[in-house]
Structure 1
Amino acid sequence: MPNAILLIGVLVASIGIFSYIRDTVRGKVKPNRVTWLLWAIAPLIATAAAISDGVGWAVLPVFLSGFGPLLVFIFSFVNKDSYWKLGRLDYICGLFSVLALILWAITNEPVIAIVFAIVSDAVAALPTVIKAWKYPETENAGPFLSGLFTSSTAFTAISAFRISEIAFPIYLISINCVLIFSILRNRFRRQPKEALL
């Protein structure tokens, strides 16, 4: 049963990411390429590290959280108007994210690799979090809502609550919540009473 729930989570995540890819191709959203490329790399590294540490099905949402962004990055080149102009902060975050990945390569320890993958992913997320906060209309909450669901399903497949099994899913739940709030916060503000009359 846990694997069935996990597979449902993967299906939901796939729907969310494909809606984002569709909106990217149509120019409705403007993905930050630094974020989406590095969002692909860090989870794929965490996947490899988790597998090397014996993690089973629980790693599937982590893998998908890397493969989906790789597809978004690739499809962001289809429509020249569907990407966010990169600035200094994007490159600085990208540099620190890559540095965290290099540190992982040097350590060669699965748990440390996962920690560095989380740091890398979080630093890579910063430009998109800032963009979503300032310009929520340039984002689509779909993949983050589905990502939240999928990350939560990882806990149904965890065999032992070890750092290598729970760290990245906990991080993914947290970052998805931050992004969802950043994108949707203005939609839930109370309207003034005058506007309701």
Structure 2
Amino acid sequence: MNTELLQLAAGLLAGAIGLCGYIPYIRGIVKGVVKPSPVSWLIWALLGIVSLSGQVEGGAGFGLVVTAGTTAGCALIVLLAVRRTRIRAAVAASSWLDGACLAGAILALALLMGQADRNAAVILSNTVGAIGFIPTVASALRAPSREGISVYAFAAVKFALSLAALPNWNILTVLYPALCLAEEIAMVGLLLFVRASSRAARISAK
């Protein structure tokens, strides 16, 4: 099997795994069990737009499947989360940090649309994307049962595969999936640790 076919297989498999990860998370949102941070997911959707544009220019090939799917998935989760919490409630629950992260993501989009340095826009947006995890981490620490773990576990696998699907490795194509892979692994580890600690505390309290 030649390299291009392997990259195609990796890209399609990564996309399918990513889709499987969103299904239980979205089902949890609809049922009211999972309560994601709308700001985090909006930032990640904007990050995906910037990174997708950069990857097109950098020649990401079949790796674009994951970035495009992730961007669409994040946008859908934002819509579902806002619908569940109502817009006013979502705005009221947002902190200054949420606003700062969102402003940074919008700035990255403006840099890109203004034909500024693509590398700078991608680096800035990925930095903001990492900061965008803070609202979700804070929510997970407060109520770990309200944050689904499977979506992050599946995402870690899909981003690892998306790296294998890249025909060209440069900052425009690699930075987004590489940082996302590290962030997803960290999120899975955090949720496992917090849930284990919470169970241990309940047991010791009996």
- The TM-score with structure 1 as length reference comes to 0.85
What amino acid does structure 2 have at the position aligned with 1:166?
V
Alpha-carbon separation, structure 2, partners of 1:17 and 1:71: 10
Alpha-carbon separation, structure 2, partners of 1:176 and 1:5: 19
Alpha-carbon separation, structure 2, partners of 1:133 and 1:110: 35
Deviations 1:107-138 (A, max 9, x none): 53332222122022122222112222332122
Match of 1:184 among 173, 181, 192: 192
Alpha-carbon separation, structure 2, partners of 1:22 and 1:35: 19
SS of match in other structure, 1:8: helix
Equivalenced residues, count: 193
Q: Quick check: 1:30 aligned with 2:38? A: no
Corresponding position of 1:173 = 181
SS of match in other structure, 2:106: helix
* Structure that is richer in helix per residue: 2
Alpha-carbon separation, structure 2, partners of 1:137 and 1:86: 20
What amino acid does structure 1 have at the position aligned with 2:129?
D
- Deviation (angstroms), 1:167: 0.9
What amino acid does structure 2 have at the position aligned with 1:26?
K
- Deviation (angstroms), 1:106: 4.1
- Deviation (angstroms), 1:33: 1.0
Q: CA contact under 8 A between 1:25 and 1:78: conserved in structure 2?
A: no
- The TM-score with structure 2 as length reference comes to 0.82
Q: CA contact under 8 A between 1:61 and 1:150: conserved in structure 2?
A: yes
Alpha-carbon separation, structure 2, partners of 1:53 and 1:161: 8
Q: Quick check: 1:75 aligned with 2:80? A: yes
> Please, which runs of 5 or more residues in structure 1 have no aligned partner?
none
Q: Quick check: 1:96 aligned with 2:104? A: yes
Fraction of identical pairs, as percent = 21
- Deviation (angstroms), 1:156: 1.7
- Deviation (angstroms), 1:30: 1.0
- Deviation (angstroms), 1:70: 0.4
- Deviation (angstroms), 1:176: 0.7
